[in-house]
Structure 1
Amino acid sequence: METQHFAAIIIGSGQAGNPLASAFAKAGKKVALIEKDKLGGVCVNNGCTPTKTYVASARAAWAARNAKNLGVNVSEVKVDLKAIKARKNKIVEKSRTGLINMVDEKSQIHLFRGAAKFADAKTVEVNGQKLSADQIFINVGARPRIVEGFEKVKFYTNVSLLEIDEIPEKLIVIGGSYIGLEFAQIFSRFGSKVTIVEMNDRLISREDVETSKIIANILENEGIELELGAKCIGGKPYGEDGVEVQLHCSGEQRSIRGSAILMATGRQSNADLLALHNAGIKHDGHNHIHVNEFCETNVKNIFAVGDCNGKGAFTHTAYNDFEIVNSYLNGGNRKLSDRYTNYALYIDPPMGRVGLSRDQALNQGIDILYGRMEMSHVARAIEKGETQGFMEVVIDKKSEKILGATVLGTGGDEIIAVFLATMYAGASYKTLRDSVQTHPTVSELIPTMLQDLNELKSTKK
């Protein structure tokens, strides 16, 4: 079969691949877009869009049950998972349809359905067809990582759990990081009895110890059980439809039983499916593709964007990868090192994070100015009846620049943008300290927090 030639080949229609295809088409260039599954990648189909739809429904159920605390009586709260799922599907379908229409309307974009593999540095094979291009862009994302020990038992992943119609009576979540915590709280609020099993001695171990403890308290206050320090875990069937998870916690061998298991033990790059060796593309032991500041691999004119390059693993960083590549191809100078790492944990209350935490800064040998405000001291949080959590800011004492911030509390996922904007502006923390914020909001306490900073010296010099 004759090889088809394109100006560009884009492998994967995720949050970087789709805008790249659109940009090439707008420039009048013929582009091949390869997708083995649904258009839109993880975010649209089984990531941000559907999960945050479920978060909203879980929040509504929680608010109804707790309305009495605000003087509102709700006689009965029923959770209809089929209706929640139908709403989720409608929202997802709308987003996906928009992408399908984009591809259909642009004649320069040629969509190929199937799994791609490299034949060489300029050629990709898909469904027996050979495609070549002057530039190739890899946007293949990641998939759930499955740990050993559960081969004999049925379990769900973050993808398949979104397709069930009945709420599990008892859900066992394997993994106490971001995905696991979000689903744990969602299904707890839906009505499941939930247990989180985590191998580390605390949840979300990349966060500071104190932050982990506060998040654990938030979940435990909602009735979610925690099994921390679990080693040598495994699963097996129990009874007709049940499951049993063996765990070794605090030196005691025992097991817990439930009706369903969610495997939430992290993500792994899909780059291992591409036969990268045929193109000479370098990657690390986690199959993250090595890239430079402009997302270009060690092979000229082959770029890796999104989760598979290991530089972000978020929708917003994937889209920024597109912006960096698009800038580079058009003579610009945007770089990976320009951005600040930021993300959110969508439990309720949510947590927004940017840059360095207190402990991370001190461990890097930086003397800092540190500010902290408990949500229980914030009038707006008190008025809403949502006083769990805190906000903190970390400042480089020498430069007066904000190094990072955490907002764990009501509106935290949005409020973190205040710190982000200040950091990207390169402004002194005093600019934010002297600003006038709207009353009554949580954000209005940020300047107050910045007026009462503590100097912390690092012991690692």
Structure 2
Amino acid sequence: MKWHASTQGERHDRTGTHRSPILGSGEGGKYLAWHLAKSGLRTAVVERQWIGGSCPNTNCLPTKNEIWSAKVADLARRADTFGVTVGPVAVDMARVRQRKRDMVDGLIKMHLQNYEASGAELIMGSGRFVAPKTLEVQLNDGGTRLLAANQIFLNVGTSPAIPGISGLAATHPLTHIEALELDYVPSHLIVLGGGYVGLELAQAYRRFGSRVTIVEHGPQLAGKEDADISEAIRQILSEDGIEICVSAETLHADGQSGQQVTLRVRTKSGEQTIEGSDILVAAGRRPNTADIGLDTAGVELDDRGYIKVNEYLETSATDIWAIGECAGSPQFTHVSLDDFRVIRDRLAGGDRTTHERLVPYCMFTDPPLARVGLSETEAQRLGIPVRVAKMPTSAVLRTRTIDERQGVMKALIAANDDRILGFAMLGAEAGEVMAAVQTAMLAGMPYTRLRDAILAHPTMAEGLGALFSKVPNHGAT
């Protein structure tokens, strides 16, 4: 017997024994639900708010939607560079927001169709363990429902973290969720955090017309990247007119975001005050593992609140798995999808694990940053000798045709053989170029195969030939 998606307004108070209830409808969870249901297993997904998880609603796709609107605004302002005459450029944030909302509505409709087609039931409500294999769901439309199960999957995700800075919470700062719902352009947006989310939205709002200041606690932007890559990012953002403050300790916040806010920060040069209109907090995320009865289920957490799992994503409780960010997996939608594949194959008796995954990264600033494999800093920390090849993106002739010359390309090759150990690119179409290198790495190809390949001209990927031609000889680093 299959359960079908419940209709809005319908109340449930029955107890159902499900083969596979899933708490949370994020990327890995929803694909697992659809797979199990199509396999004939009674499957239900409990989702508190976002159908399909954060990616289609508040994170990946909505941010990239508005970032693209910001790029169009930037291109329009530079239209004369391309021989195109336009009138004055203005940004209508209400229309930018509506374009994003229309996309999200379409994605939700697609998800509901997938639930219906698969036979998996979607239950809108908040779930928590009340017994080791029993979830109690407080339904959004009223009432409760108990789901008993043979096996349970946790896909509860993470939420934006608000640092414990004096006065910050009282200012009611924006997170990326609220920032994507703004119908106005802030006059001066202060961004706390220089990671992926902070940098993407800082640049977008600068292009929408805001004055923007980034305040980063660490010594550089994009703290996980090599110093040369970070410096290239900083230069690009500075040229966009973004003010950047690194190695900055925020001491106190005052005011009301959306009206007037003041930050007092301490830097190497002393204390200073930054005044703005809005604060956007982009300072990391926290797992949504509190108050859902995990102790009742025997599910252990680590010291940061993430669910402890083994290489098969099995928790400390028998027949309970965790998927995606709540399990401490890298915080990317594509990793959550692979978590689904690990669990799917494990349930079928396979031996796929999370060990030694080659995880690609992409930050959608303009130009974007893409990276896969080791960075030079990581190689040094691990004591892995490498040969480094590097060149400016402007050396790729494609950049002359599109007038997007900013950035750098960088490759790490093993010192004693020709394996590609890492690749990073800050430049136009970086994510697509990275995919070609990642494919070569997965295939175990030596870098010389890319160096000597016939690559189409004029493309950005053509630059790989020139980049890999710069690899030092064996024994050189």
Confirm or deny a common fold (TM above 0.5): yes
Q: Could you tell me which of 132, 157, 165 is aligned with 1:141? A: 157
Instruction: Please report how far the alpha carbon of residue 398 of structure 1 lies from its aligned counterpart in structure 2 after TM superposition.
Output: 2.9
Residue 132 of structure 1 corresponds to 148
Q: How does 1:273-288 map to 2 (within 5 A)?
A: 273-288=291-306
**Are the counterparts in 1 of residues 367 and 426 from structure 2 also a CA contact under 8 Å?**
yes
Matched, 1:438 2:456: yes
Residue 60 of structure 2 corresponds to 48
Residue 28 of structure 2 corresponds to 16
C-alpha distance in structure 2 between counterparts of 1:252 and 1:72, whole Å:
47
Residue 33 of structure 1 corresponds to 45
Residue 283 of structure 2 corresponds to 265
Matched, 1:346 2:328: no
Matched, 1:95 2:107: yes
Amino acid at match of 1:313: Q
C-alpha distance in structure 2 between counterparts of 1:216 and 1:458, whole Å:
30
Residue 200 of structure 1 corresponds to 218
C-alpha distance in structure 2 between counterparts of 1:238 and 1:339, whole Å:
44
Q: Could you tell me which of 40, 57, 72 is aligned with 1:60? A: 72
**Are the counterparts in 2 of residues 433 and 450 from structure 1 also a CA contact under 8 Å?**
yes
C-alpha distance in structure 1 between counterparts of 2:470 and 2:244, whole Å:
36
Q: Could you tell me which of 414, 428, 453 is aligned with 1:410? A: 428
C-alpha distance in structure 2 between counterparts of 1:327 and 1:176, whole Å:
37
Matched, 1:123 2:142: no
C-alpha distance in structure 1 between counterparts of 2:476 and 2:70, whole Å:
42
C-alpha distance in structure 1 between counterparts of 2:338 and 2:257, whole Å:
49
Question: CA, structure 1 residues 121+218, in 2 after alignment: closer, same or farther (shift >3 Å)?
Answer: same
Paired residues, what number? Answer: 458
What per-residue deviation string (whole Å, max 9, x for no partner) do you get for residues 50-93 of structure 1?
11001110110111112222333323111111111111101111
Instruction: Please report how far the alpha carbon of residue 243 of structure 1 lies from its aligned counterpart in structure 2 after TM superposition.
Output: 0.9
C-alpha distance in structure 1 between counterparts of 2:189 and 2:163, whole Å:
18
Matched, 1:71 2:89: no
What per-residue deviation string (whole Å, max 9, x for no partner) do you get for residues 6-36 of structure 1?
1101010110111111111111111121000
Q: Could you tell me which of 186, 193, 206 is aligned with 1:175? A: 193
Instruction: Please report how far the alpha carbon of residue 2 of structure 1 lies from its aligned counterpart in structure 2 after TM superposition.
Output: 6.3
What per-residue deviation string (whole Å, max 9, x for no partner) do you get for residues 201-256 of structure 1?
21111111111111011000000001111114321117992111111122422211
Question: CA, structure 1 residues 217+112, in 2 after alignment: closer, same or farther (shift >3 Å)?
Answer: same
**Are the counterparts in 2 of residues 367 and 455 from structure 1 also a CA contact under 8 Å?**
no
C-alpha distance in structure 2 between counterparts of 1:398 and 1:125, whole Å:
57
C-alpha distance in structure 2 between counterparts of 1:455 and 1:112, whole Å:
59
Query: Structure 1 vs Structure 2: percent identity of aligned residues?
Result: 36
**Are the counterparts in 2 of residues 366 and 457 from structure 1 also a CA contact under 8 Å?**
no
State the TM-score, normalizing by the size of structure 1: 0.95
What per-residue deviation string (whole Å, max 9, x for no partner) do you get for residues 113-151 of structure 1?
222112233111212432111111111111000012212
C-alpha distance in structure 1 between counterparts of 2:470 and 2:208, whole Å:
41
**Are the counterparts in 2 of residues 357 and 394 from structure 1 also a CA contact under 8 Å?**
yes
Please state whether the residue corresponding to 2:27 is helix, strand or coil.
coil
Residue 382 of structure 1 corresponds to 400
Amino acid at match of 1:122: K
- 5+ residue gaps, structure 1: none
Amino acid at match of 2:127: A
Instruction: Please report how far the alpha carbon of residue 357 of structure 1 lies from its aligned counterpart in structure 2 after TM superposition.
Output: 1.0
Matched, 1:247 2:247: no
Amino acid at match of 1:112: I
C-alpha distance in structure 2 between counterparts of 1:181 and 1:169, whole Å:
18
C-alpha distance in structure 2 between counterparts of 1:76 and 1:133, whole Å:
61
Amino acid at match of 1:67: A
Amino acid at match of 1:357: S
C-alpha distance in structure 1 between counterparts of 2:135 and 2:386, whole Å:
50
C-alpha distance in structure 2 between counterparts of 1:96 and 1:241, whole Å:
33
Instruction: Please report how far the alpha carbon of residue 41 of structure 1 lies from its aligned counterpart in structure 2 after TM superposition.
Output: 0.7
Instruction: Please report how far the alpha carbon of residue 291 of structure 1 lies from its aligned counterpart in structure 2 after TM superposition.
Output: 1.4
Amino acid at match of 1:78: A
Q: Could you tell me which of 141, 160, 169 is aligned with 1:151? A: 169
Instruction: Please report how far the alpha carbon of residue 423 of structure 1 lies from its aligned counterpart in structure 2 after TM superposition.
Output: 1.0
Amino acid at match of 1:34: V
Residue 321 of structure 2 corresponds to 303
Amino acid at match of 1:84: V
C-alpha distance in structure 2 between counterparts of 1:319 and 1:385, whole Å:
36
Residue 438 of structure 2 corresponds to 420
Please state whether the residue corresponding to 1:16 is helix, strand or coil.
helix
Instruction: Please report how far the alpha carbon of residue 173 of structure 1 lies from its aligned counterpart in structure 2 after TM superposition.
Output: 0.5
Q: Which range is displaced more, 209-218 or 441-450?
A: 441-450
**Are the counterparts in 2 of residues 167 and 190 from structure 1 also a CA contact under 8 Å?**
yes
Instruction: Please report how far the alpha carbon of residue 400 of structure 1 lies from its aligned counterpart in structure 2 after TM superposition.
Output: 2.0
Please state whether the residue corresponding to 2:231 is helix, strand or coil.
helix
State the TM-score, normalizing by the size of structure 2: 0.92
Residue 341 of structure 2 corresponds to 323
C-alpha distance in structure 1 between counterparts of 2:313 and 2:475, whole Å:
36
C-alpha distance in structure 1 between counterparts of 2:260 and 2:272, whole Å:
17
C-alpha distance in structure 1 between counterparts of 2:377 and 2:330, whole Å:
21
Q: Could you tell me which of 414, 419, 433 is aligned with 1:396? A: 414
**Are the counterparts in 2 of residues 367 and 456 from structure 1 also a CA contact under 8 Å?**
no
Matched, 1:6 2:22: no
